[in-house]
Amino acid sequence: MVNICGLLGTEYPIIQGAMAWIADAYLASAVSNAGGLGIIASGNAEADWVRSEIRKTREMTDKPFGVNVMLLNPHADAIIDVICEEHVPVVTTGAGNPGKYITKLKSNSIKVIPVIASVALAIRVERAGADAVIAEGQEGGGHIGEATTMALVPQVVDAVNIPVIAAGGIADGRGIAAAFMLGASGVQVGTRFLVAKECTVSQNYKDMILKAKDSDTVATGRSTGHPVRVLKNKLARDILILEKRNADISEIEKIGTGALRAAVKDGDVVNGSVMSGQIAGLVKKEQTAREMIVEMFEEAEEIYESRAIICRSRGSIPRNG
């Protein structure tokens, strides 16, 4: 297992999840200042917005940070150009295969860390020159794959020789400890940072996360080929009904358009899309990004130091009697 802090230039082996419309310069710089790797999520944004957030981030931190490129974004090519021009230290990608961008990013000395949801894509991006992969299980929020974190991470660890960062379902020290036990070298955390004091998402969105139970998320859009994990609300129920009726993909996608923005910016958590991981039920307090990171890693270290993991009885039971 490698120390991913050297690769990322961070104090802690943690990356902030890229949350479209949410992870802007404020959150990214807060996480980077707190010792993690803050990420600007470009989502479906245009390249000019990304350039402006990169420059704002640099005004708020002198620590390394990254930009996430959501590969379904029609502006992805232009965003890659901006990332190179602005010498962003790290790029993460999501929702597709970033193969065609890797050579260009590497030749600009940018670290490339794709989010993958399968062993096959992990192997492909390693061959194309990726520096690490983020193996994201379907416990995560937003766009997801099929495999769970518990099953995906060790299989990816066995299949590649680059560091593996675990994502999906991790929001405390137990999750971090478990990820390392599976062979991960770091973690990506999204849902918990939604309620960071520095996160500018609407208070309604934060309150819904803070009140969520274990069973409150659902994956919509499986029928469209773009499954998205969200908190259950009217929009999610409407989409699921359309999917059950085998409605046209265009009809389903139409009611989802603009819905994330509505929840994030306008606080419409009824008709908006409240993307969240399954671990929201564990997220119960608003803290600064620094408080979250320190608390999570203290918990993880305590687990390693104090908990004897007992797989068979040893010592306390006399061997011969």
User: Cβ-closest residue to ligand TUI?
Assistant: 142
Instruction: Give the CA dihedral 112, 116, 120, 124, nearest 10 degrees.
Output: -10
Structure tokens at 34: 């707190």
Cβ-based nearer residue to ligand TUI, 13 or 145: 145
Cβ-based nearer residue to ligand TUI, 120 or 241: 120
Task: State the minimum distance, in angstroms, from the CB of residue 317 to ligand TUI.
Answer: 46
Task: State the minimum distance, in angstroms, from the CB of residue 135 to ligand TUI.
Answer: 10
* Binding positions for ligand TUI, rule: CB under 6 A: 20, 43, 70, 72, 94-97, 115-117, 121, 136, 142-145, 226, 228, 275
- Count of C-beta atoms within a 10 Å radius of residue 233: 20
* CA quadruple 291, 294, 300, 306: dihedral sign: negative
Question: Contact, 70 vs 95, CB < 8 A?
Answer: yes
Cβ-based nearer residue to ligand TUI, 256 or 281: 256
Task: State the minimum distance, in angstroms, from the CB of residue 110 to ligand TUI.
Answer: 18
Cβ-based nearer residue to ligand TUI, 166 or 300: 166
Strand order in the sheet with 142-143: 142-143, 228-231, 217-220
Of the candidates 122, 86, 119, 80, which has an alpha carbon nearest to the alpha carbon of residue 102? 80
Largest CA distance in the chain: 74
Cβ-based nearer residue to ligand TUI, 142 or 163: 142
Task: State the minimum distance, in angstroms, from the CB of residue 231 to ligand TUI.
Answer: 14
Task: State the minimum distance, in angstroms, from the CB of residue 248 to ligand TUI.
Answer: 17
